[in-house]
Amino acid sequence: MEKIKQFLTKYYDDLFIFGGLGILILTTFAINKFAGLYSLGAVLFILGLFFAMTNGRKG
């Protein structure tokens, strides 16, 4: 239980960001399939650039 608490306190901001992006993408898919695919592609592209620039490391 302590490891779960440490994980959540260390990465809570990332969990909220990814959760919010997931909800945005799901609602866009509910509106229109093609708009959802465009939003998914844009989010994945931006996340790829971000992780490439930061090497995916937290600290």
The predicted pLDDT at position 58 comes to: 60
Q: State pTM to two decimals.
A: 0.70
pLDDT at 59: 55
- How far is residue 5 from each of residues 1, 9, 17, 46, 49, measured CA to CA in Å? 6, 6, 18, 29, 29
Give the tens place of pLDDT for each residue, 16-52. 888 999 999 999 999 999 999 999 999 999 988 888 8
CA 13 vs. chain centroid, Å, equals: 10
Within a 10 A sphere around the Cβ of 5, how many other Cβ atoms?
Answer: 9
Residue 45 to residue 50: CA distance in whole angstroms: 9
Give the pLDDT confidence score for residue 32 in this predicted structure.
94
